[in-house]
Structure 1
Amino acid sequence: MKSYKKLTLSLLCGGPSLERGISLNSARSVLDHLKGEDIDILPIYFDYKKRPYRISQAQLYSNTPSDFDFKLKYTATPLNDKALVRLLRRADIVFPVMHGPFGEDGGIQRILERNHIPFIGSSADSCKLLFDKYDANEYIRVHGFHAPPSAVLRIYRRDHKNIIDAFFKKYRISRAIVKPASGGSSIGVFSVQTPSQALDRVRRLFSRRFDTRVVIEPFAVGREFTVIILENRFNMPVAIIPTEIEADYAHHQIFDFRKKYLPTRHVAYHCPPRFPDETIDRIQVQAEQLFTLFKMRDFARFDGWALENGNIWFSDFNPISGMEQNSFLFQQASRIGLSHRGALRTIVSHACQRYGIPFPPSADDECTHRDRRKPVHVLFGGETSERQVSLMSGTNVWLRLKRSHRYYPHAFILDEKRKVWKLPYTYTLNHTVEEIIDNCVRAPQDHTRLSHLERRARLRLGFRPHEAEELRFIPKSITINEFIKNAPFVFIALHGGFGEDGALQGMLDKACIPYNGSGADVSSLCMDKWRTDRAVEALALPGIHAIAEKLLKLNTLSDTKREVASFWKTLTKELRSRTVVVKPRADGCSSGVAHLFCAGDLMRYLDAVRAKASFIPAHTLKRQDSIIEMPQQPAKELLFQSFIETDTVRIARQALKYRRVSGWVEVTIGLMEHRGVYRVFNPSLTVAEGEVLTVEEKFQGGTGANITPPPPSIVKPKALTCAQHHIEKLAKEIGLKGYARIDAFLHVDSGSLLIIEVNTLPALTPSTVLFHQALAERPPLSPRELIEEIIENAGY
């Protein structure tokens, strides 16, 4: 039998673009799913000035580059040009996973080619040609593919108004798109109606230096799609099953950064798309032709439109597709039976084949020890406003346990009717709970069509018998009682409501089924913010306090301006606070949390609650820069708290900026418990962009910074130690079990704490702060080890 040496893969991430946070997510996925006995990963990070650093694998688990950018000189090894090339040559092959300029425009590829270093992906010339949206559009038009008219504006020219006016007039434009000529993730993309609006957006893009060239084109009328292309072992491109993107384009909405990377009700994906088979065929054939035309290699993702007039337009070409956990790459690959690991191995092995590099056969640790591993039923979803975060947590736990040698996971989703569905691999990767349930319900009628599309793609990719084994099955629903009866261990990845309020825990206790986290009584207490705060005050522990607050039953306050104004005056007086924070009594994940500045803000917030709004649009309230997701079930009681003014902490251009205001900073602190012994992690300093921490900053990879631990220049080491002791005492008194996370305001001098909330089932999303803190321990605890310890500590 032929022996293979371990393959060393150098992973390049970061870069100067605004997509550098997404690059970190992609790098994390590659590390998670390729690292093993047969492949070693060597991460190299480029900062916003394209300066390279050798970083640790642990740093890839940061939420954003801002988590460590400012301390790179102390925590990473800077590399000059010679040192970079020397380090790259130590690897067998290089995998650039940088998105945007430098990563996808041929910049890094040119460096690798110049130094004769093997790498994955398309050449520098190919990347340069397809990266510029205007040039690529003109290129495909010349070669006979459909492309709408477009115009390009250059930053230092004075003809912007003339070009825009002429473009609108010539093509009778009623709606147009203005976007940077380069870049991705819909950053800097605007929808406009008039020439004056277009000119304003162009000036905005140029003033902020998004690009030196801006493109204007007609708004596409049709249905949006994206398709992944993989090269098979015969160097032939094969387009996998496309995904249709269903979004609301009214009121100048677009498929923007938030919708792309945060699971939300405001966009839906359909794979296969709801197009006729003939349209799918045309998309796949043209995608493969364009892949060849651009002389691309290994893999790519193309975005486009099936237009109302019957044409297919490919509007964006991505030589390095995003590789976050539920990205289109993994979604579409899973439709033909490829796991995350299988998809990445397909891409890497093809590149190795091109260079004649021996690629080790799969040591498939997802299957090797399956018979000896203990089964774990991972339950996620639910009906609360936190269900999409639950989906991210549950999927992440399930994927990490897939590579465990101790436990073997099965994925289950809870629907709004309390039915439970066992999921095939591919269904877990949909972006929302609603999509997954819809797929489950439609599975029997979709089976024939899907099977045909799957078989065709697998045949054209030339899979060998042992490849692509994550095959789809038709899921069936069972009752929650049936689920519990057949579960050896339940990993509860639900957030809020039934999963976190003690109800499910009580059912599991009654059935003697082990599970993660605290018991029924403690879960019930901590789910209710009002009761939690009352309990904290009643304990009267030194250095630990609740925030001044007031509870309001909605039916006791009328919606007249006079009564709301009167209530506001009384409220601010009682709380001794000019502004207040409002939140539902029993919801988490920043759902419904808002900072109110005046009675008008309160009136508008109450209007949204009473109207059962799914979200409050940005700029509805004062200083509200992003939308506020609202609870799925309208709140009957609201909790008002004093607004705690914190010290100003900002990260700008790899520098940490700190200005003392009150001595308070916001932190989150994770902990583990086993048989009454508590281990409190180092706190993380949370850096919010707005008035309150948003859902994105908490859970969306690539947004929101967490600094673990807080630097001594901000929080004194003695204060940190003191805060950890306070948390340990509080956890013991409350009776927290297994693991938990406590959010609080910490005083930088004394270590005193103002408790915000206690999370008995903290999120375990790919970029959750709990993983950062566990990796900062000595010895460090990897995400998979942390999850395994949570299960083990529950007695399983």
Structure 2
Amino acid sequence: SARSVLDHIQGEDLLVSCYYIDCGMNAFAISPAQLYSNTPSDFDFKLESLAQEFSTLSEFAEHLAANVDIVFPVIHGKFGEDGGIQELLEKANVPFVGTPSNECLRAFDKHNASLELDAQGFLTVPNFLVEKDKLATSELEEWFRSINLNKENGKVIVKPTRAGSSIGVVVAYGANEAAEKAEGIFSEGIDNKVIIEVFLEGGCEFTAIVLDVGTANNSEPIVLLPTEVELQSSISSDIQEDTIFNYRRKYLPTQQVAYHTPPRFPAEVIDCIRKGVSLLFRHFGLRDFARIDGWFLPSPATSLPSSENGVKFGNTEYGAVLFTDINLISGMEQTSFLFQQASKVGFSHSRILRTIVQHACSRFPSLVTSNNAWTALSRKMQSAKQALIIPNGTCKQKAFVIFGGDTSERQVSLMSGTNVWLNLQGFDDLDVTPCLLAPSNGYSSHNEDFSESSRDVWTLPYSLVLRHTTEEVHAACFEAIEPERVEITSRLRNQVMKELERALSKQDWFAGFDITDEQPIKYSLQQWIDYVKEAKAVVFIAVHGGIGEDGTIQSLLESAGVPYTGPGPIASRTCMDKVATSLAVDHLASYGIHTIPKDVRAREELLKSSLVDIWNDLKAKLQTETVCVKPARDGCSTGVARLRCPEDLEVYANALRGTLPRLPANCLSKVPEIQFGNSLSQSNLMLSCTFTLIYIC
């Protein structure tokens, strides 16, 4: 989130400084470059030499008071959303974005928030609070009985009351297992209070971003288009998982979740969600922005105990709407719900973040003057970006960023392409279009042989790029062109945009929306190349593996006279194939450059020959006791494993024979889960040795 915020708000009109608080609650002023590490642990060990440490949090707050105009807290969970950082800033009189400390504390605790929701007349999910060292199984069993839930196998959700990002959220069956799962959360130190909720079987999860567009301290929340979170069970029969929106499904590439914005709910239900979220924002005293999650239960609301005491907010003709979680600092990574929903109603990443910051500035008289100066420069920069002619009188250079494909590297390609596209948009002299390369027959099956007619390229509107997987983007393209969805989305989008414009037009700093409502367009690969050529555009190739790196796309673009980034067809073809690369490098031996001893085996040979004989032959030829195996024409460590004995080779060969998508952890000696790519079912195996290295291609 911090990296994303930095990427999209910094500019010549805004100076951004970065600060980091580690797990020990030590504060540091860090270089923005540190944010581009994979995880904090990648730079934690460098802090002593590369960062300015503050002796106490109070000293840190004093530094902020003297050196910054406003703080944007991007700490999720404890200390970030429970009022901790907010209280520190309030005591030092430092302006900040977001909700005050007392209101954060009140809304962040899931159990307390649930009690307040119930008191305010909202439908709520039946729940039971468990505190550390105070768990009484008999009381928990009585709660199961009170809500007509079987104490032996009744399905419930067990989660910390004060943690974010679905941390520690698990499913349990029956009172005893629920108690065990609660004790597990306590023992892990996640929280000392746990809430046990009824599992809403048949319910549909949703989440909604709410934006405060009022003036100064007068709150005026407007809810953007909510998102339906569609979950599916694991596609692998050997992996059993409960269908919950857990940490992995929320943040990592997986084919077990799909997002629909707006939800596929009746219009009355969507109106109820938006009205409820707005009421909650006001009631809890939230500021600037937030995300509120809940469930739509398409069944009679009378089945919920909380509806027994009369009419509750959330009852609709079509089912019940329940609100469950209030997120004070919504996730802000590149493809988060904040940006997905904002992009549907005309906001780019930069515009929505700047709108949030500028609204926060309007609450502080000392920042109004600087905010006006910032606004004037921002508008000038925005006008230049929107114009087809840049200030020196020349036309913008058109660029197409292509990503995706159908290899095991397609998800990495999506992340790379999204990052390239978003960053190139920051240049005033470029007009950038994101494009998805996808198999014509979809991702359910793959073409073994490449032909121009076997691949489609979709030009994408802004909002459709913001997904975790290529499968999601591909499915979203088809959903976006369905006539019924087009009509519903357009109507709801216009409604929200009118509400936003009516409120934001009162603000001096609002410069209008910067994203239009476009449709995705599908081309064959050759049609797309012809289109790019006609547009006199340059292509940024961000397709990893397959035809993106083996010279195929390069050859097609070169033949059409279309400029592109990266090496040409011959270099691409050579470097993509590890065998060809090795042979090429062998010619540099006279320059002191050497390759690793290796062997290459056909896939069919491993499947049909004696694996013991092959193993012994490899040991003798490579002079090694263990080997590392990898595909010859794939990347991103796909299919790479260390084999320590003939039995490991047999397991690997059986995976190839069965074309398994992955090998679970511990199938091989001391080896974690192995991901396999498409190329393993189509090509030979390459074996080489460095210490204990073997390659399969």
TM bucket, shorter chain = 0.7 to 0.9
Partner of 1:371: 389
Task: Compute the displacement of 1:605 (Å).
Answer: 3.8
- Compared CA separation, residues 117 and 755, structure 1 to 2 (3 A): farther
Q: Distance in 2 between matches of 1:78 and 1:88?
A: 16
Q: After alignment, is 496-505 or 462-471 more displaced?
A: 462-471
Tell whether the 8 Å contact from 1:52 to 1:84 is kept in structure 2 after alignment. Answer: no
Q: After alignment, is 98-107 or 44-53 more displaced?
A: 44-53
Residue of structure 1 aligned with 2:513, choices 443, 468, 483: 468
Partner of 1:504: 553
Task: Compute the displacement of 1:318 (Å).
Answer: 0.8
Q: Distance in 1 between matches of 2:403 and 2:573?
A: 18
Q: Write out per-residue CA displacement over residues 37-70 of structure 1, whole angstroms, 9 at most, x where no aligned residue.
A: 2211121111111111111222222222112211
2:351 equivalent to 1:333: no
Equivalent position amino acid for 2:47 in 1 = L
Partner of 1:346: 355
Q: Distance in 1 between matches of 2:618 and 2:41?
A: 37
Q: Write out per-residue CA displacement over residues 481-539 of structure 1, whole angstroms, 9 at most, x where no aligned residue.
A: 33333342111011111111001111222223221111111111111123223333443
> What SS does the corresponding residue of 1:95 show, helix, strand or coil?
coil
Task: Compute the displacement of 1:288 (Å).
Answer: 1.4
Tell whether the 8 Å contact from 1:380 to 1:492 is kept in structure 2 after alignment. Answer: yes
2:425 equivalent to 1:397: no
Task: Give the 5 Å matches for 1:10-159.
Answer: 26-80=1-55, 81-157=58-134, 159=135
- Compared CA separation, residues 516 and 363, structure 1 to 2 (3 A): same
Equivalent position amino acid for 1:428 in 2 = V
Partner of 2:497: 458
Task: Compute the displacement of 1:233 (Å).
Answer: 2.9
Task: Compute the displacement of 1:121 (Å).
Answer: 0.5
Q: Distance in 1 between matches of 2:434 and 2:468?
A: 15
Q: Structure 2 unaligned segments of length 5 or more: list them.
A: 235-239, 300-318, 391-395, 441-454
Partner of 2:227: 243
Task: Give the 5 Å matches for 1:547-562.
Answer: 547-558=596-607
Q: Write out per-residue CA displacement over residues 722-772 of structure 1, whole angstroms, 9 at most, x where no aligned residue.
A: xxxxxxxxxxxxxxxxxxxxxxxxxxxxxxxx9999xxxxxxxxxxxxxxx
2:439 equivalent to 1:407: no
Equivalent position amino acid for 2:433 in 1 = H
Q: Distance in 1 between matches of 2:538 and 2:208?
A: 38
- Compared CA separation, residues 365 and 29, structure 1 to 2 (3 A): farther
Q: Structure 1 unaligned segments of length 5 or more: list them.
A: 1-25, 646-753, 758-796
Tell whether the 8 Å contact from 2:402 to 2:417 is kept in structure 1 after alignment. Answer: yes
> What SS does the corresponding residue of 2:544 show, helix, strand or coil?
coil
Tell whether the 8 Å contact from 1:88 to 1:94 is kept in structure 2 after alignment. Answer: no
Tell whether the 8 Å contact from 2:292 to 2:327 is kept in structure 1 after alignment. Answer: yes
Q: Distance in 1 between matches of 2:382 and 2:664?
A: 43
2:634 equivalent to 1:587: yes
Q: Write out per-residue CA displacement over residues 9-31 of structure 1, whole angstroms, 9 at most, x where no aligned residue.
A: xxxxxxxxxxxxxxxxx112222
Task: Compute the displacement of 1:589 (Å).
Answer: 1.7
Tell whether the 8 Å contact from 1:426 to 1:472 is kept in structure 2 after alignment. Answer: no
Q: Distance in 2 between matches of 1:211 and 1:38?
A: 41
Tell whether the 8 Å contact from 2:158 to 2:197 is kept in structure 1 after alignment. Answer: yes
Q: Percent identity?
A: 41
Partner of 1:477: 522
Equivalent position amino acid for 1:382 in 2 = G
Equivalent position amino acid for 1:151 in 2 = F
Q: Distance in 1 between matches of 2:654 and 2:119?
A: 54
Q: Of Structure 1 and Structure 2, which has the larger fraction of its residues in strand?
A: 1
Q: After alignment, is 533-542 or 480-489 more displaced?
A: 533-542
Partner of 1:724: none
Residue of structure 1 aligned with 2:332, choices 323, 337, 356: 323
Higher RCO structure, 1 or 2 (CA under 8 Å, sep 6+) = 1
> What SS does the corresponding residue of 2:417 show, helix, strand or coil?
helix
Q: Distance in 2 between matches of 1:284 and 1:573?
A: 69
Task: Compute the displacement of 1:344 (Å).
Answer: 0.7
Q: Distance in 2 between matches of 1:193 and 1:640?
A: 48
Tell whether the 8 Å contact from 1:547 to 1:756 is kept in structure 2 after alignment. Answer: no
Residue of structure 1 aligned with 2:208, choices 227, 231, 234: 227
Task: State how many pairs are aligned.
Answer: 621
Q: Write out per-residue CA displacement over residues 223-251 of structure 1, whole angstroms, 9 at most, x where no aligned residue.
A: 22221111123522121111122222463
Tell whether the 8 Å contact from 2:9 to 2:353 is kept in structure 1 after alignment. Answer: yes
Tell whether the 8 Å contact from 1:38 to 1:363 is kept in structure 2 after alignment. Answer: no
Partner of 1:447: 486
- Compared CA separation, residues 301 and 539, structure 1 to 2 (3 A): same
Task: Compute the displacement of 1:644 (Å).
Answer: 4.9
Partner of 2:678: 631
- Compared CA separation, residues 366 and 552, structure 1 to 2 (3 A): farther
Task: Give the 5 Å matches for 1:163-562.
Answer: 163-168=139-144, 170=146, 171-172=149-150, 173-221=153-201, 222-234=203-215, 235-249=219-233, 251-253=240-242, 254-309=244-299, 310-356=319-365, 357-358=367-368, 359=371, 360-361=374-375, 362-363=378-379, 365=381, 367-368=383-384, 370-372=388-390, 373-417=396-440, 418-444=455-481, 445=483, 446-461=485-500, 462=502, 463-464=504-505, 466-485=511-530, 486-487=532-533, 488-540=537-589, 544-558=593-607
Q: Distance in 1 between matches of 2:179 and 2:94?
A: 44
Tell whether the 8 Å contact from 1:547 to 1:755 is kept in structure 2 after alignment. Answer: no
Task: Compute the displacement of 1:609 (Å).
Answer: 3.6
> What SS does the corresponding residue of 1:591 show, helix, strand or coil?
coil
Equivalent position amino acid for 2:494 in 1 = R
> What SS does the corresponding residue of 2:286 show, helix, strand or coil?
coil
Q: Distance in 1 between matches of 2:563 and 2:519?
A: 28
RMSD (CA atoms)? 2.8
Q: Distance in 2 between matches of 1:508 and 1:420?
A: 14
Q: Write out per-residue CA displacement over residues 253-279 of structure 1, whole angstroms, 9 at most, x where no aligned residue.
A: 332222222233232211122222222
Q: Distance in 2 between matches of 1:577 and 1:259?
A: 41
Q: Distance in 2 between matches of 1:644 and 1:142?
A: 67
Tell whether the 8 Å contact from 2:628 to 2:694 is kept in structure 1 after alignment. Answer: no
Q: Distance in 1 between matches of 2:621 and 2:141?
A: 57
Tell whether the 8 Å contact from 1:618 to 1:628 is kept in structure 2 after alignment. Answer: no
Q: Distance in 2 between matches of 1:274 and 1:365?
A: 38
Q: Write out per-residue CA displacement over residues 642-661 of structure 1, whole angstroms, 9 at most, x where no aligned residue.
A: 5757xxxxxxxxxxxxxxxx
- Compared CA separation, residues 212 and 264, structure 1 to 2 (3 A): same
Q: Distance in 1 between matches of 2:65 and 2:642?
A: 49
Task: Compute the displacement of 1:315 (Å).
Answer: 2.4
Q: Distance in 2 between matches of 1:434 and 1:40?
A: 38
Task: Compute the displacement of 1:96 (Å).
Answer: 0.4
Tell whether the 8 Å contact from 1:544 to 1:755 is kept in structure 2 after alignment. Answer: no
Q: Distance in 1 between matches of 2:590 and 2:129?
A: 65
Task: Compute the displacement of 1:83 (Å).
Answer: 4.9
Task: Compute the displacement of 1:146 (Å).
Answer: 2.1
> What SS does the corresponding residue of 1:536 show, helix, strand or coil?
helix
Q: Distance in 1 between matches of 2:113 and 2:688?
A: 53
Task: Compute the displacement of 1:593 (Å).
Answer: 2.7
- Compared CA separation, residues 169 and 336, structure 1 to 2 (3 A): same
- Compared CA separation, residues 138 and 397, structure 1 to 2 (3 A): same
Equivalent position amino acid for 1:634 in 2 = S
**TM-score normalised to the size of structure 1?**
0.73
- Compared CA separation, residues 601 and 756, structure 1 to 2 (3 A): closer
**TM-score normalised to the size of structure 2?**
0.82
